[in-house]
Structure 1
Amino acid sequence: MALAYPKIPKSSNLYTDLMEEFRDQGHEVFIVAPAVNDSEVGLINEEGISVIRVKTLPLLNVNPIKKGIANVLLPYQYKKAIKKYFKSDSLDLIIMPTPPISLVDVASWLKKKYHSKLYLILRDIFPQNAVDLGLLKKGGLFYNFFRKKEQLLYDVADEIGCMSQGNIDYVVRHNPNVKKEKLHLLPNWQKEIPQFDGDKIALRKKYNFDDNFVIIFGGNIGLPQKLENILAVAELHQPDDKVLFFIVGQGTEKTKIESLVREKNLKNVVIKNSLPREDYQNIISVADCGLISLHEDFTIPNIPSKSLSYFNAKIPILAAIDENTDYGIHIQDEVKAGAWAPSNKPNLIKEKIDLLRTNPQLCNEMGENGYRYFVNNVTPKHSYEVIDKRIN
């Protein structure tokens, strides 16, 4: 059961990559996911995978109230669709990622009906992340509702795959009743995309990278990313620094960020719409550095999946992040694939940028380190093996 499951091969994400791996390992795979458009509702075969597309309210790039209502209705819509289209007599494994936690009721129903195992891929720790961003009030009606769903999810899940050790420690600390033996590492994963082998100089010229040190950001432009912090860094760089921030994506905060760029007259910030993964990966390959940005108020250890695209492209990572995540330690000290600084301290972020742009050899070493870590540890095959081992 997925919240974001694009149509293969037009687009892809970590869940399409994982389900393709399950398919390739010989499993019969059923997906329940929102319909891409109203004309594609029902049971559809997509690249050898059976996908039940469900008509839902808008779930992405909408305001928090609409998103909340859509998430509350989602389990009823999914359950109705499953009853209509899923005719199998057996179901061995249910995989449920977060977000959203509201699907716990559907997962629990399926588990009881088919005596299945439930594997939870824990990515967002909700509702606390909404509290961190000021979207929910701790102890409020909606918080209490979702908190009970979260606790129920931890209880009914047979196994819980967490992004980092920091995630595991956080869940244990705030949920003393959860069985610790369920919790284990399941890092983010991504299918390897072949390296761009075309004319890199021409591609850089196409996007007006010129002789700039290009720092690329790709993905959601929302509250969790707080790109205002990055604009503050861009303001510190003078034209002679030849530093360009290249932002690719969509999100609820995109219009606001675009307005701020115009207001501040930031000539060293470019914002583009989302691109297919392969096209985006090609652009990354001619950038100099990959950017991670996280809101400084997060209390939960977040591990952004976009790092994997940077690893794949062999470019170093610059992480502007909160001080509660263990992501910075992972990138800088363990993988040795980048550098980090607190996201609300623009001068410190600038120091890291200056370190990278004046040390091309260091950037090359970091890029190679990240790529080796990627292919040896976090492909869909590695994630499949973790899940298979835990449930068998």
Structure 2
Amino acid sequence: MSKKQSEPAQESGSAPRGRGGSLHLSANKLRWGMLIGALGAVLAALVTMTVTGFDSDKVEAHQPGAEPVVRDKEFSSAAEGDCLSWTKPDRSDLVKVNCADKHLFEVAGVIDLSAYPGREFGDGTRHPDSLRMTELRDEHCVSAVQRYLGGRFDTRGKYTVNVMSPSPAGWQHGDRTLRCGVQVAATTTSPASTGSIAEGDQSKVHDAGTCLGINQNLPTDPVDCAQPHAVEIVGTVDLAANFTGGPPSEADQDKYVEAECNRLATDYLGSPDAIRNKTLTMFFDVLEPTSWLAGSHKLDCWLGKGVDREGFAPIVGSARGEILIDGQAPVPPPNTGRSTPAPLPGAAPLPPQPQPR
């Protein structure tokens, strides 16, 4: 998906060809800016969940025929549609919770590795390493999530597909089941969500006033606006309020979302001139047809400072107050009022302008 850009106080053109004249971010660069969140979520997931599902430093011994440890009872009884949560880094306090409450993982399917051909996961085998767990996630969990949602999973939305496995102790005791599911995409620790993915909008949106951190000039997870960040969210546009039926065209989205983002920015900042005076740019996305058909209908309005072909400049402070852009206070452009247009070729000369006395 390509990120659109708009500077309402300056010249207007068709997105995404660099509205405002001073910013010319390529569509590819901005597309990578949007995808880094999903990429980071995958990398974080490999570290935190697909290795064991629990902290490998907390292995507990079992006697033959003994019951699994208490923490694995919740895991091994989790079924499709259950939501899981925990507070400890080793996830030893994992519990099933109501999906309407805050949770970290929603189960979309259960995979029994004991039915896998061969003896790869037989008795006495070692827990699969992170690479094998990633392969199992891709082999089984992507399709499991699609089945769970009736083919309506938004691969560009707020969730990412992941897998949980038994603890090392549970594996030693013979538990060979995996839980496929979804969690909120993030570049670091996955944040909690409320409500089942099967019942809600999967749009990757944030509350107004949220600032997205910056890494290698690209947006990452939400951070305090006093910390360096790439963009600030000024509001969210619900395209379903204006479009019905099939996916709206990119041109129709551009026209509607730009107007809505400019209105939201003015309300958020308190002045139609604030964006121009702070030398910032409004960015907005476009919904792909696959996202629309999956039920994602909302887009964020981003406020940031683009760097030509490099992504975003780091900003410190909320745009509602004083900010620093790349360590410097913004200098408002001069406002000389309305300029006199140049005469067309062959037109009569303009009358002399009165001179000040």
For normalisation by structure 2, the TM-score amounts to 0.23
Select the structure with the greater relative contact order (CA < 8 A; seq sep ≥ 6).
2
Q: Which has the larger radius of gyration?
A: 2
TM-score by length of 1: 0.22
Higher helix content, 1 or 2: 1
